[in-house]
């Protein structure tokens, strides 16, 4: 890690360093090693209090925690297989997995406190916490463990003791081809949405089914907008549905993507701005109440499972192993700010239009000379890595106390320690 730039560095010195670094970058390039494949992003959650991005992936059972201030990475792998959904509540990370469990793990020690499961509990794609913090609600496909169970199951658990309190099974017949579903507690009500095409309303005090709404397609996910008394739901055909909480019915629907809509987010502080991401590789930004399209962001050609807000940045996770960060401060001029690549125990962030990057492990990258594509190794590679790898990248993207510049925090001493072969005449 490079030391911070001394405050007595003159602007002319910084400019000279920048010119030197830009010259070096014209001779060398950094690439992600092929031996470190991307894990494929499944779920994203941003913990604002700790400035930490919590990530689950397709390729492993790990949950990664990346501190966006210090640059450190931690993980736990208490689950037995892929973690489908992850959130943080209080001092715990709560996750649901294809192993048929919901787990509560201490954020700081990563020790496990609760394992919520039953003998017939199948894959669990969704978990949430009641607003008062007393209960957990999990969605599962129990038919996969018990052929006699034809419907998806939503369970209500005591968050304190882990006791299973109630099951909600009136969710429609499970369709094995679609792995979608969610549940949302709102006041004394519970809304469940399933891959059978049902959006149902239950009374949490009695467990009674109050209202049943169905569509011809299979539902995928949903979000609640209390300010507008709306639930926005999506299906596997790329359509969106506006369900009015008071009227207990769907008011309108539109086909807005070409494939499954896997994540719906509300812009923090502005409930009229909605973000959707889809397996079609696009993120789209909308404005209520007419659901007018503001912007289309072509992310990549891989499936997009999740997106999350980090302040005014929108993070989008792709099965390619990349997380893309977009600046949404000005919705009329949205720009890509950086790309993060996640591997099993390392990550790298490449900001747009910058000579620098941040990587927590140099083994993730290789360095080559542009002139002859030769691989740079040893001390020369170490020097170049130290020169261009800067934690100031994190400060610029995710906030910090230090005013930053393109010097990336390079100390003049590093400039003076240039390996001899880097100063050779071309």
pLDDT the model gives residue 27: 74
Reported as a pLDDT band with limits 50, 70 and 90, residue 305 is: very high
- Does 41 map to a domain? no
Q: Is the per-residue pLDDT at 10 higher than 70?
A: no
Considering the domain architecture, whether residues 167 and 213 belong to the same structural domain is answered as: yes
Considering the domain architecture, whether residues 23 and 112 belong to the same structural domain is answered as: no
Measured distance CA(199)–CA(311) in Å, rounded: 31
Identify the burial level of 18 via C-beta atoms within 10 angstroms of its C-beta, where 0-12 means exposed, 13-18 middle and 19 or more buried.
middle
- Does 309 map to a domain? yes
- Does 273 map to a domain? yes
pLDDT the model gives residue 172: 66
Domain holding 325: CATH number?
A: 2.130.10.10
pLDDT the model gives residue 384: 85
- Does 283 map to a domain? yes
pLDDT the model gives residue 364: 93
Count of C-beta atoms within a 10 Å radius of residue 146: 13
Measured distance CA(185)–CA(204) in Å, rounded: 8
Measured distance CA(308)–CA(264) in Å, rounded: 9
pLDDT the model gives residue 352: 93
Q: Is the per-residue pLDDT at 6 higher than 70?
A: no
pLDDT the model gives residue 184: 96
Reported as a pLDDT band with limits 50, 70 and 90, residue 83 is: very high
User: What pLDDT, in 10s, does the model give residues 398-416?
Assistant: 985 443 444 444 444 444 4
Residue closest to 283 by CA, chosen among 311, 304, 260, 258: 304
Measured distance CA(311)–CA(328) in Å, rounded: 9
Q: Is the per-residue pLDDT at 169 higher than 80?
A: yes
Select from 317, 340, 363 the last residue of a domain.
340
Read out DSSP for 304-336? EEEEEEETTEEEEEETTSEEEEEE-SSTTS-EE
pLDDT the model gives residue 420: 47
Distance, first Cα to last Cα, the chain: 30
Considering the domain architecture, whether residues 61 and 135 belong to the same structural domain is answered as: yes
Residue closest to 93 by CA, chosen among 46, 125, 41: 46
Work out the percent of the chain whose per-residue pLDDT is above 90. 69
- Mark out the alpha helices in 204-332 (DSSP H runs): none
Q: Is the per-residue pLDDT at 383 higher than 90?
A: no
Reported as a pLDDT band with limits 50, 70 and 90, residue 19 is: low
Considering the domain architecture, whether residues 253 and 278 belong to the same structural domain is answered as: yes
User: What pLDDT, in 10s, does the model give residues 120-144?
Assistant: 898 999 999 999 999 999 999 887 7
- Does 103 map to a domain? yes
Cα 202 vs. chain centroid, distance in angstroms? 30
Handedness of CA 277, 283, 285, 290 (dihedral sign): negative
Cα 301 vs. chain centroid, distance in angstroms? 17
In this structure, the strands spanning 73-76 and 83-89 are unpaired
Rounded to the nearest integer, the mean pLDDT of the chain is: 87
Cβ pair 154, 195 in contact under 8 A: no
pLDDT the model gives residue 412: 43
Count of C-beta atoms within a 10 Å radius of residue 116: 23
Residue 301 parent element (H or E) = none
Domain that holds residue 71: 46-340
In this structure, the strands spanning 230-235 and 239-244 are antiparallel
Considering the domain architecture, whether residues 237 and 268 belong to the same structural domain is answered as: yes
Coil, helix or strand for 150?
coil
Considering the domain architecture, whether residues 370 and 290 belong to the same structural domain is answered as: no
Considering the domain architecture, whether residues 190 and 130 belong to the same structural domain is answered as: yes
Cα 107 vs. chain centroid, distance in angstroms? 17
Count how many domains the chain has: 2
Considering the domain architecture, whether residues 20 and 88 belong to the same structural domain is answered as: no
Select from 310, 340, 370 the last residue of a domain.
340
pLDDT the model gives residue 176: 58
DSSP state of 390: -
Q: Is the per-residue pLDDT at 61 higher than 80?
A: yes
Handedness of CA 97, 101, 106, 111 (dihedral sign): negative
Cβ pair 33, 368 in contact under 8 A: no
Considering the domain architecture, whether residues 97 and 128 belong to the same structural domain is answered as: yes
Residue closest to 73 by CA, chosen among 57, 90, 54: 54
Q: Which residue has the tokens 């700790």?
A: 50
C-alpha separations of 333 from 268, 296, 302, 326 in Å: 18, 12, 24, 10
Measured distance CA(78)–CA(268) in Å, rounded: 31
Token pair for 59: 């390729």
- Does 1 map to a domain? no
53-62, 119-128, 147-156: segment of lowest average pLDDT:
147-156
pLDDT the model gives residue 152: 85
58-67, 143-152, 194-203, 330-339: segment of lowest average pLDDT:
143-152
pLDDT the model gives residue 408: 42
- Does 280 map to a domain? yes
Residue 194 parent element (H or E) = strand 189-194
Cβ pair 307, 315 in contact under 8 A: yes
Considering the domain architecture, whether residues 27 and 51 belong to the same structural domain is answered as: no
pLDDT the model gives residue 404: 40
pLDDT the model gives residue 21: 59
Measured distance CA(234)–CA(270) in Å, rounded: 20
User: What pLDDT, in 10s, does the model give residues 316-360?
Assistant: 999 999 999 999 999 999 999 999 999 999 999 999 988 889 999
> Residue 350: how many CA atoms within 13 Å on its side-chain side?
13
User: What pLDDT, in 10s, does the model give residues 86-109?
Assistant: 999 999 999 999 999 999 999 999
Q: What is the pTM of this model?
A: 0.88
Considering the domain architecture, whether residues 295 and 256 belong to the same structural domain is answered as: yes
Residue closest to 94 by CA, chosen among 152, 135, 154: 135
Cβ pair 338, 348 in contact under 8 A: no
76-80, 174-178, 193-197, 234-238: segment of lowest average pLDDT:
174-178
Considering the domain architecture, whether residues 219 and 354 belong to the same structural domain is answered as: no
- Does 225 map to a domain? yes
Select from 305, 340, 375 the last residue of a domain.
340
């Amino acid at each position: 890690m490079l030391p911070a730039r001394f405050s007595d560095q003159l602007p002319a010195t910084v400019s000279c360093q920048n010119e030197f670094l830009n010259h070096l970058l014209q001779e060398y390039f950094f690439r992600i090693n092929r031996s470190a494949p991307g894990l494929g992003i499944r779920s994203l959650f941003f913990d604002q209090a700790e400035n930490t991005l919590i990530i689950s992936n397709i390729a492993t059972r790990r949950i990664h925690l990346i501190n966006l201030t210090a640059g450190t990475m931690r993980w736990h792998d208490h689950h037995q297989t892929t973690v489908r959904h992850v959130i943080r509540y209080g001092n715990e990370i709560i996750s649901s997995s294809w192993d048929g469990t919901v787990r509560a793990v201490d954020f700081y020690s990563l020790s496990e406190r609760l394992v919520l499961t039953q003998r017939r509990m199948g894959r669990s794609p969704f978990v949430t916490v009641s607003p008062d913090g007393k209960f957990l609600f999990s969605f599962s496909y129990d038919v996969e463990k018990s052929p006699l169970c034809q419907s998806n199951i939503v369970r209500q658990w005591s968050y304190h003791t882990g006791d299973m309190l109630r099951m909600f099974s009136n969710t429609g017949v499970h369709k094995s081809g679609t792995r979608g579903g969610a549940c949302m507690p709102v006041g004394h009500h519970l809304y469940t949405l399933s891959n059978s095409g049902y959006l149902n309303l239950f009374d949490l005090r009695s467990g009674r089914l109050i209202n049943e709404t169905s569509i011809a397609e299979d539902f995928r996910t949903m979000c609640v907008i209390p300010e507008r008394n709306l639930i926005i739901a999506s299906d596997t055909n790329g359509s969106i549905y506006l369900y009015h909480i008071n009227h207990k019915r769907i008011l309108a629907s539109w086909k807005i993507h070409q494939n499954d809509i896997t994540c719906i987010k509300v812009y923090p502080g502005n409930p009229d701005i909605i973000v959707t991401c889809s397996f079609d590789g696009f993120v789209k930004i909308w404005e209520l109440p007419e659901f007018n399209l503001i912007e289309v962001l072509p992310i990549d050609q891989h499936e997009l499972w999740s997106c999350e807000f980090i302040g005014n940045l929108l993070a989008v996770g792709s099965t390619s192993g990349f997380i893309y960060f977009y600046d949404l401060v000005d919705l009329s001029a949205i720009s890509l700010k950086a790309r993060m690549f996640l591997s099993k125990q390392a990550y790298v962030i490449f900001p747009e239009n910058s000579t620098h990057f941040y990587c927590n492990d140099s083994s993730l990258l290789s360095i080559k000379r542009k002139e002859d594509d030769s691989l740079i190794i040893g001390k020369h590679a170490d020097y170049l890595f130290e020169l261009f790898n800067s934690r100031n990248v994190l400060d610029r993207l995710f906030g910090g106390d230090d005013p930053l510049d393109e010097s990336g925090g390079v100390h003049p001493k590093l400039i003076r320690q240039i390996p001899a072969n880097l100063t050779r005449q071309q």
